[in-house]
A = this chain, B = another copy of it.
Amino acid sequence: MKKEIEIFERYLKTKNLSLTKERKLILDEVFSIDGHLEADEIFLRLKKDKKDVSRATVYRTLGLLVNSGLVRKVYLGEDHIHYEHTHGHTHHDHLVCIKCGKVIEFSDKKIEKLQASVCRERGFQELSHTVQIFGYCKDCKE
């Protein structure tokens, strides 16, 4: 498995961009978090560690990480975007509990296959997808 940093640097190369100190800090921080994260969370964590990076750079770099394919955006029913790193994980989707907020990951090969065939039928070239199922988790349903 290629290290994230190599992939990112290679991606940046293709865009004539370079792996700066700030971009590396953000990359490391993103990959140190398991699960779902918010842009501002990265900003605040770095700030706490005295590794100051501006908000603008955090947002800009997250955009690059998404474009590089290392990270993806996820919509979890809240009014802002979450991110999660995809490199080194098998693809998965989410069950979101609307009471306690828990997010349960799942993956299902058969669903993926059916989605692929929906795309094929319509001449649509899939790049990514997200599935969210909202409801009550085991502990929250009455």
Residue A2 interfacial (CB < 8 Å): no
What is the interface of chain A, defined by CB distance below 8 A to chain B?
73, 75, 77, 79, 81, 95, 97-98, 104, 106, 108, 110-111, 114-115, 118-119, 122-138, 141
Tell me whether A127 and B98 are in contact (CB under 8 A).
yes
How far apart are A70's CB and chain B's nearest CB, in angstroms? Answer: 16
Known: A129-B131, A129-B132, A131-B131. A123 touches B137 (CB 8 A): yes
Q: By the criterion CB–CB under 8 Å, are A124 and B136 in contact?
A: yes
Taken together as a complex, chains A and B put the C-alpha atoms of A97 and B119 apart, in Å, by 12
Identical copies in the complex: 2
CB of B106 within 8 A of CB of A110, answer no
Tell whether, in the assembled complex, residue B111 and residue A138 are in contact, meaning their CB atoms are under 8 Å apart. no
Q: Is the CB of A115 within 8 A of B138?
A: no
Q: List 29 A-B contacts (CB under 8 A).
A: A75-B75, A75-B130, A95-B124, A97-B124, A108-B118, A110-B114, A111-B114, A114-B114, A115-B131, A118-B133, A119-B135, A122-B137, A122-B138, A123-B137, A123-B138, A124-B135, A124-B138, A124-B141, A125-B136, A125-B137, A125-B141, A126-B134, A127-B136, A128-B134, A128-B135, A129-B131, A129-B133, A130-B132, A131-B131
Q: Which residues of B contact A119 (CB under 8 A)?
A: 95, 133, 135
In the complex, what distance in Å separates the CA atom of A94 from the CA atom of B126?
12
